Amino acid sequence: MGLRIHFVVDPQGWCCMGLIIFVWLYNTIFIPKVILFPHYEEGHISAVAILCYYLCSLFCIASLVRASVADPGRLPENPKIPITEREFWELCTKCNMMRPKRSHHCSRCGHCVRRMDHHCPWINNCVGEDNHWLFLQLCFYTQILSSYTLLLDFCHYYYFLPLKKDNWVRISFLPKLN
């Protein structure tokens, strides 16, 4: 179970990955600018909250990259099948290669994957035997980051003290008028 690099050429997958990276960058820049830094400057939260947010964000994007480029369990061109295991192998009708019985052929990637779960356009890769744990790790970190962002939004509107007026001018995208 090695982590070989695997890259899928799929325009729909690239669009999904681009959308995810855009949303991640937007949240990594916008949420701290609107919620974290102004409340930190006014003393409502500590630097640990900002550090935790950036750590969650870093873990999320790192797991996305790892799940996207990891080999899902692609079968080799000429697999060496032991004589004792030949009854557990079958011929793929799409690529005419021998594959284990729990393998499936991915029409997007164009090859068979061991214990394939599905082809995920959000990571632009199949989820199979070798990268299933990376996909679950991505789901976990995404859930942690989303929950933390939701908690910060809730605290911003219902728990923290209101921000002073000069911080709202700094947050807006219009130049400050005197």
Residues 29 and 89 grouped into a single domain: no
Residues 25 and 92 grouped into a single domain: no
How far is residue 175 from each of residues 32, 36, 169, 170, measured CA to CA in Å?
A: 20, 21, 8, 9
Handedness of CA 24, 136, 3, 12 (dihedral sign): negative
The tens digit of pLDDT for each residue in 81-124 reads 776 777 777 878 888 787 888 888 888 888 888 888 888 888 88
Residues 129 and 59 grouped into a single domain: yes
Catalytic residue among 120, 126, 139, 155: 120
In the predicted structure, residue 138 carries a pLDDT above the cut 50 = yes
Residues 31 and 100 grouped into a single domain: no
Q: Is residue 95 part of a domain?
A: yes
Q: Is residue 6 part of a domain?
A: no
* pLDDT score of 104: 87
Residues 35 and 61 grouped into a single domain: yes
Secondary element (H or E) of residue 150: helix 132-158
* pLDDT score of 59: 94
Q: Is residue 156 part of a domain?
A: yes
How many structural domains does the chain have? 2
Q: Is residue 28 part of a domain?
A: yes
Residues 81 and 152 grouped into a single domain: no
Residues 107 and 84 grouped into a single domain: yes
More confident of the two residues 89 and 22: 22
Q: Is residue 3 part of a domain?
A: no
The closest alpha carbon to 73, from 144, 175, 162, 2, belongs to 2
Secondary element (H or E) of residue 23: helix 11-31
Mean pLDDT, all residues of the chain: 81
The 8-class DSSP code of residue 48 comes to H
Cβ-contact 67, 135 below 8 angstroms: yes
Residues 34 and 99 grouped into a single domain: no
Query: Does residue 120 have an active-site annotation?
Result: yes
Q: Is residue 5 part of a domain?
A: no
Q: Is residue 88 part of a domain?
A: yes
Structure tokens at 33: 């600018």
The tens digit of pLDDT for each residue in 142-162 reads 999 889 888 888 887 777 666
pLDDT-derived band at 31, boundaries 50, 70, 90: confident
Residues 32 and 67 grouped into a single domain: yes
CA of residue 38 relative to chain centroid, distance: 28
Structure tokens at 78: 């000429």
Cβ-contact 161, 42 below 8 angstroms: yes
Residue type for 118, please? H
Residues 67 and 16 grouped into a single domain: yes
Residue numbers of the domain that contains 156 = 11-72+122-171
Residues 126 and 80 grouped into a single domain: no
More confident of the two residues 172 and 13: 13
The residue whose two tokens read 């090859």 is 111
Residues 64 and 81 grouped into a single domain: no
